């Protein structure tokens, strides 16, 4: 009896001690809530740390050539007829292409190629590069008023002029940029490189401190790549290409930003020999270097655009258009409709404005018909070609400036830039407007009231 009483007493003491150690139900619930909150906080921190940051276009500026560089079509034809380097058939070809080029008489050439026998040495090419590049950067810095110490990334692109030191180092030396700057100098990518540079800047900014700036400068230096022979496929670049350049400032900070970067899609078809050779730098039979444009160019560009559209559609289309696009793709695959023309979605449902590379009137018309765009949608492209010619990699930015100069850009509007380039590449990028421009001092400032012009009888 005494032993049983002792056992019961010990058990009672044990339960009493256990009751003090084990929390009450309310305490357990509080611990669970704290643990859940802690897990949510950790998961949110990991997500925010690894999620891609938004990238913004703070602002951009386009090169405005002096009137001294104006090169009317009549002057170009006269030079061709008087040049001792060109035969009569080449001069007639140049005159014929000018009539159908869609270009006006306000386009610009560097002075070094305005002579009867153009010659561009390294010094003249550097002078042209400094004129264009430093001008657009000076204008951009005056426009944005940023501290240069905040620029952590510098990207330049120029296809055919690649001096040593590079154009990027030329900029670093002129503006005394910081020593740990991430510098990239792109070459050989032709007219699509400006879009490529934007994508590269966006990717690089993901690994920079928040709020860093990326300065992107795009141009094509005309002098070193001017062709002086009689090969017609190489003369086309002389007829269409003109001076131009643009500087863009990107950042992960929304402060003072004017556009937010959306999608970026890059399509490279260089694995195909036909695509690889359709824009090709080579020597003619007399050893003159030039860029030859193949007769397959339009077909290659069309295929590259279709591939790019296929990759871009799921990123930008609203659900209704995306469903139609998906349904057609499935039907084609199941029913083996190989000869049926691919279904092109209605991209007007995703974008308000289009900036199509001004490769020429045929390029603009082909993209217009391929995407079922209205004349209003391609007006910026046609007017840029007429006013400035084909400015290679920077032309799409002159088109954006045209839209803004016309007062058509509204907050929330979406813009689709389409660039084509050697390789062959089709690169596209989307933007959403955050703040329309309030500045009228752009490349169109003195001429916007004259546009649009009627080109129906000139193309």
Task: Determine the average pLDDT of the residues in 323-338.
Answer: 69
Nearest-CA neighbor of 244 among 442, 389, 59, 67?
389
Q: What is the mean pLDDT of residues 48-62?
A: 85
Query: Tell me, what's the pLDDT at 406?
Result: 93
pLDDT given at position 6 = 53
Highest mean pLDDT (candidates 300-314, 380-394, 440-454) = 380-394
Which of 44-53, 77-86, 162-171, 437-446 has the lowest average pLDDT? 44-53
What pLDDT, in 10s, does the model give residues 390-444?
999 999 999 999 999 999 999 999 999 999 999 899 999 999 999 988 777 789 9
Q: Per-residue confidence at 43, pLDDT binned at 50, 70, 90?
A: confident
Q: Exposed, middle or buried, 400 (CB in 10 Å: 0-12/13-18/19+)?
A: buried
pLDDT band at 333 (very low <50, low <70, confident <90, very high): low
Residues of the chain with CATH 3.40.47.10: 56-450
Helices (H), 72-192: 73-82, 88-99, 122-144, 167-175
In angstroms, the CA 238 to CA 132 distance is 19
375-388 and 395-405 helices cross at what angle (nearest 10)? Answer: 120
With cut-offs at 50, 70 and 90, classify the pLDDT of residue 114.
confident
Chain segment 159-179, per-residue pLDDT in tens: 989 999 999 999 999 999 999
Structure tokens at 274: 């036909």
Distance between CA atoms of 258 and 144, rounded to whole angstroms?
11
Quick one: how far is CA 348 from the chain centroid? 19
Residue 249, pLDDT score: 98
Distance of CA 38 to the CA centre of its chain: 42
How high is the pLDDT of residue 313? 87
The pLDDT of residue 336: 63
pLDDT value at 153 more than 60: yes
**Cis peptide, bond prior to residue 332, ω within 30 of zero:** no
pLDDT at 123: 93
Q: Which residue has the higher pLDDT, 451 or 16?
A: 451
pLDDT, the chain, mean: 88
Res. 116 pLDDT band, cuts 50 70 90: confident
Out of 121-130, 229-238, 337-346, which region has the weakest mean confidence (pLDDT)? 337-346
Task: State the pTM of this model.
Answer: 0.87
Is the pLDDT at 22 greater than 70, yes or no?
no
* pLDDT value, residue 7: 44
Confidence of residue 51 (pLDDT cuts 50, 70, 90): low
User: What CATH number is given for 56-450 in this structure?
Assistant: 3.40.47.10
pLDDT at 12: 47
Percentage of residues of the chain with pLDDT beyond 70: 89
CA distance 378 to 215: 28
Q: Look up tokens 């954006």; give the residue.
A: 400
Average pLDDT in the 174-193 region?
93
pLDDT value at residue 296: 92
Q: What is the pLDDT of residue 354?
A: 97
How many whole angstroms separate alpha carbon 258 and alpha carbon 56? 7
| pLDDT score of 454 | 85
How does residue 8 score in pLDDT terms, banded at 50, 70 and 90?
Answer: very low
Q: Is pLDDT above 90 for 33?
A: no
pLDDT at 88 over 90: yes
Predicted local distance difference test score (pLDDT) of residue 15: 42
The whole-number average pLDDT for the span 273-294 is 92
pLDDT value at residue 18 = 45
∠ CA 364-377-387 to the nearest 5 degrees? 60
Percent share of the chain, pLDDT over 90 = 66
Q: Give the H/E segment covering residue 60.
A: strand 56-62
pLDDT band at 115 (very low <50, low <70, confident <90, very high): confident
Are 94 and 239 within 8 A, CB to CB? yes
The residue that leads in pLDDT, 386 or 37, is 386
Q: Can you tell me the distance from the alpha carbon of 331 to that of 122, in angstroms, rounded to the nearest whole number?
A: 57
């Amino acid at each position: 009896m005494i032993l049983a009483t002792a056992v019961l007493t010990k058990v009672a003491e044990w339960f009493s001690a256990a009751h003090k150690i084990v929390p009450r139900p309310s305490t357990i619930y509080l611990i669970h809530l704290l643990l859940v909150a802690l897990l949510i906080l950790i998961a949110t921190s990991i997500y925010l740390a690894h999620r891609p940051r938004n990238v913004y276009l703070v602002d951009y500026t386009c090169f405005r050539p002096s009137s001294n560089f104006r090169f009317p079509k009549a002057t170009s034809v006269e030079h061709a007829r008087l040049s001792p380097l060109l035969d009569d058939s080449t001069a007639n070809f140049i005159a014929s292409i000018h009539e159908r080029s869609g270009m006006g008489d306000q386009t610009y050439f560097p002075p070094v190629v305005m002579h009867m026998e153009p010659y561009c040495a390294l010094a003249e090419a550097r002078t042209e590069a400094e004129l264009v590049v430093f001008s657009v950067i000076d204008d951009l810095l005056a426009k944005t008023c940023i501290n240069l110490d905040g620029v952590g990334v510098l990207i330049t692109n120029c296809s055919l002029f690649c001096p040593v030191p590079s154009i990027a180092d030329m900029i670093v030396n002129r503006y005394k940029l910081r020593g740990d700057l991430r510098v990239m100098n792109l070459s050989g990518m032709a007219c699509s490189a400006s879009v490529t540079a934007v994508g590269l800047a966006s990717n690089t900014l993901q690994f920079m401190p928040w709020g860093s700036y990326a300065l992107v400068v795009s141009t094509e230096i005309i002098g070193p790549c001017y062709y002086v022979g009689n090969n017609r496929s190489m003369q086309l670049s002389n007829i269409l290409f003109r001076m131009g350049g643009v500087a863009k400032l990107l950042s992960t900070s929304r402060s003072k930003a004017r556009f937010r970067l959306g999608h970026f899609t890059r399509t490279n078809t260089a694995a195909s020999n036909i695509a690889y050779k359709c824009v090709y730098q080579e020597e003619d039979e007399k050893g003159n270097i030039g860029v030859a444009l193949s007769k397959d160019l339009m077909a290659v560009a069309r295929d590259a655009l279709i591939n790019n559209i296929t990759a871009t559609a799921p990123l930008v289309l609203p659900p209704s258009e995306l469903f139609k696009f998906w349904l057609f793709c499935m039907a084609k695959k199941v029913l083996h409709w190989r000869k049926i023309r691919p279904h092109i979605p209605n991209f007007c449902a995703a974008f308000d404005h289009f900036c199509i590379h001004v490769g020429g009137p045929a390029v603009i018309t082909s993209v217009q018909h391929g995407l079922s765009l209205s004349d209003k949608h391609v007006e910026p492209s046609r007017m840029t070609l007429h006013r400035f010619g084909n400015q290679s990699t920077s032309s799409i930015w002159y088109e954006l400036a045209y839209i803004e100069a016309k007062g058509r850009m509204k907050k929330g509007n979406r813009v689709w830039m389409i660039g084509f380039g050697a390789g062959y590449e089709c690169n596209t990028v989307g933007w959403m407007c955050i703040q329309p421009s309030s500045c009228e001092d752009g490349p169109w400032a003195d001429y916007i009231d004259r546009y649009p012009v009627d080109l129906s009888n000139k193309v």
